[in-house]
Chain A
Amino acid sequence: MEILNSLLSGFSLALTLTNLMWCLVGVTLGTAVGVLPGIGPAVTVALLLPVTTKVDPSGALIMFAGIYYGAMYGGSTTSILLNTPGESATIITAMEGNQMAKRGRAGPALATSAIGSFVAGTLATIALTFVSPLVVDVALSFGPPEYFALMVLAFVTVSAVLGGSALRGLTALFIGLGIGLVGIDTQSGTARFAFGVPQLLDGIEVVTVAVGLFAVGETLWSAAKDYKVQESVMQMSGSIWMKADDWKRSIGPWLRGTLVGFPFGAMPAGGAEIPTFISYAMEKKLARNPEEFGKGAIEGVAGPEAANNASSTGTMTSLLALGLPTSATAAILLAAFQQYGLQPGPLLFVNSADLVWALIASMYIGNVMLLVLNLPLIGIWVKLLKIPKPQLYAGILIFATLGVYGMRQSAFDIFLLYAIGLLGFLMRRYDFPTAPVIIGMILGPLAEAQLRRALAISQGDWMIFLHKPLSATLLAITVLMVVGPWLLRKLKRT
């Protein structure tokens, strides 16, 4: 009952005219950047961080969250019509949905992914509404050792477990942690790794790193490596609406996809790709005609699309209730909270309950807006795909320099942006994941604070992490996740 009351007061805040406008701006921008290749939700939220100085927290955060889940809707359009996944979580959609489009079923493919995203987004928001207060109740009892252990677990899962190579994932993570160390240490006032450069004393801006790695690195890559690729946009022929049979075949996958996606996102492990793979495999197994999979089965679009949407909403649970971001975009959302001096986590539900519930209520509203934006208005987004590559990427670079310069008014940051773009290019070339860099640089300083607080409590005794049952368990799981696969391989070989 208490939850429903909080949610109702959240709606009363979210339904004000200004907040509705921010929500609409957010989901529209989110759909647009989800559709466009070369720019994604992480870069967009990063580029818009400067607005936090002008807009009140509820408006800005409602917009940023809208960009995050709106991009999931837009990404599927690109995947289906272009066969290049706009986001890593839409790889499956790119496969199966593009096959449907090739067989003249682009309309139903777009419809099942939009409606599936809506069903999953709404159900996952309901789950978020009821699960986060429970998580908050547990998390309120956490002390520094528990928090530090939880962060270590998140670090390891996002870098070592989810990617292709644990070695490269961890390298990316530690590079991010290193970037997070640059500047004045807030606890002792010592300058670290600033090399006497005044611009580095304030640290390196998240905007510069995210935009450099994603937008500039992607632009360099696209110009220097993908110049041969000729992309052709599928024609949208026939009706967009689904037939009765399409509905019957979609409903099950939508619900099962949600069921798989939400917990994956909500766990401090995160990752939206794995639930889409699981959902795809599951639907293939359950289907009446599995031979249709790979040739454009509607179940193979409906399930994974629901899964990635539910997972991104799940990620919001872990961000809001635990303060733990498990995707690059969530990490930048955390940075947006910090701009307002707010720290996501259980205390946010206590100290800024109004804001949190308005944000959650806005997610219900945003999903309805997205359904309208992505079904009747789909034609507008298809036009976006026709922007020629040279002008698209050149335009992205203008926005990149705008956001980076606007943050600190320093031309130094533009050179830094280019340098980080080079790093992004190299990481792409040698297949290092980039998300761990962002998560490391944002979560790193928080983890350091918890570590030092824990050791101050224990007077320097590291055993504190093992004496507390919860932190000991979390650390044991972490070790298992790293050593487990390696051990299994060794055992298999002998």
Chain B
Amino acid sequence: MAGPGTRNGRAGQLAVAAAVLVLGIGMALGTLQLPEATGYAGVGPRLVPAIVSGALMLLGLLLLKEAWFTGFKDVDEGAEAANPTHWQAFGWISGAMIIDGILMVPAGFVIAGTVLFVLAARGFGSARWIQNAIVGASIAALTYAFFNYGLGLNLPRGLLPF
């Protein structure tokens, strides 16, 4: 059953396989910049990166071949097409994480955590902003208090006075 959905899925598989190949090539180029082995054993920091990059290039090629001819083994693109990705939810969660990273140091762990909580809950379809903000702030404040004062971890205080 080669519907349009499965064709999209096949393109995705080819892209994933190509990414593995590119990763291998990138690592190989990085390996070449490492210093040559010194000492009489001839083993240095280059050896394992060379093996790993070589293996990734080979695996990338094999994955490309599999994706092109048969599709990944046991990956059901038909079922995937029937259950499309909800990109809006994906976007909310992604935004939540990125904003958390931006706010963490300037605004502090508790504020960043509250924003993260509210946005992520929205990604799961919960738009009760105020209740979520209260729950999120409580969780963030409790963990902040426990880890900062209980275990002596240094979490950013940010805009808050304590």
Chain A residues in contact with chain B, CB under 8 A? Answer: 50-51, 53-54, 164-165, 167-168, 170-171, 174-175, 177-178, 181, 185, 187-188, 190, 192-193, 216, 219-220, 222-225, 227-228, 388-391, 393-395, 397-399, 401-402, 405-406, 409, 411, 414-415, 417-418, 421, 426, 429-431, 444, 448, 451-452, 455-456, 458-460
Contact = CB atoms under 8 A, between A and B. Distances in A.
Interface of chain A: mostly helix, strand, loop or mixed? helix
Given A193-B30, A225-B85, A398 B23 contact: no
A430 B13 contact: yes
10 contacts: A170-B55, A178-B53, A181-B52, A187-B45, A190-B44, A225-B85, A401-B97, A401-B113, A411-B104, A459-B40
B116 to A, nearest CB: 6
Contacts, number: 205
B151 A401 contact: no
Contacts of B121: 390-391, 393-394
Contact of B56 (A174, A185, A390, A431): A174
A448 B48 contact: yes
Nearest to A227: B86
A455 B42 CA distance: 8
A353 to B, nearest CB: 28
A217 B92 CA distance: 14
A181 B104 CA distance: 28
A489 to B, nearest CB: 12
B154 A460 contact: no
Given A388-B126, A402-B147, 8 more contacts: A50-B153, A167-B59, A193-B30, A391-B121, A398-B136, A430-B16, A452-B47, A456-B39
A194 to B, nearest CB: 10
A401 B100 contact: yes
B134 to A, nearest CB: 11
Given A165-B72, A391-B132, A405 B155 contact: yes
- The interface centre, meaning the residue of B39, B97, B120 with most chain A CB atoms within 10 A of its CB, is B97
B35 A459 contact: no
A165 B16 CA distance: 15
Given A171-B63, A405-B109, A431 B72 contact: yes
Given A50-B153, A390-B121, A223 B93 contact: yes
A398 B75 contact: no
B112 to A, nearest CB: 7
Given A181-B48, A220-B93, A225 B12 contact: no
B97 A417 contact: yes
Interface in B1-27: 12-13, 16, 20, 23, 27
- The interface centre, meaning the residue of A167, A216, A228 with most chain B CB atoms within 10 A of its CB, is A167
Contacts of A222: 124
Contacts of B53: 178
B161 interface: no
Given A175-B23, A193-B27, A393-B120, A398 B49 contact: no
B140 to A, nearest CB: 6
B43 A460 contact: yes
A397 B120 contact: yes
Interface in B63-85: 63, 66, 72-75, 80, 83, 85
A397 B97 contact: yes
B150 to A, nearest CB: 9
Given A164-B73, A165-B72, A401-B112, A394 B40 contact: no
- The interface centre, meaning the residue of A50, A391, A417 with most chain B CB atoms within 10 A of its CB, is A391
A224 B43 contact: no
B62 A167 contact: yes
Contacts of B85: 224-225
- The interface centre, meaning the residue of B30, B49, B55, B101 with most chain A CB atoms within 10 A of its CB, is B101
B130 interface: no
A192 B50 CA distance: 12
Interface string B100-130: 1110110001001100111011111110000
A190 B30 CA distance: 12
Contact of B104 (A51, A167, A193, A401): A401
Contacts of B63: 167-168, 171
A53 B123 CA distance: 35
B41 interface: yes
B135 to A, nearest CB: 6
Given A220-B90, A223-B90, A405-B109, A171 B59 contact: yes
Contacts of A421: 97
A156 to B, nearest CB: 12
Contacts of A459: 40-41
Nearest to B126: A390
B105 to A, nearest CB: 5
Contacts of B143: 398-399, 402
A136 B96 CA distance: 48
Contacts of A390: 120-126, 132
B109 A402 contact: yes
Contacts of A227: 86, 89, 124-125
A171 B55 CA distance: 8
A118 to B, nearest CB: 31
B86 A460 contact: no
Contact of A456 (B43, B102, B125): B43
Contact of A394 (B41, B124, B154, B156): B124
Contacts of A164: 73-74
Contacts of A415: 98, 101
A397 B96 contact: yes
Q: Top 10 nearest A-B pairs by Cβ distance? A: A390-B124, A390-B126, A414-B101, A390-B121, A394-B120, A223-B89, A460-B42, A224-B90, A418-B97, A190-B45
A398 B93 contact: no
A460 B40 contact: yes
Given A175-B23, A388-B126, A389-B124, A51 B151 contact: yes
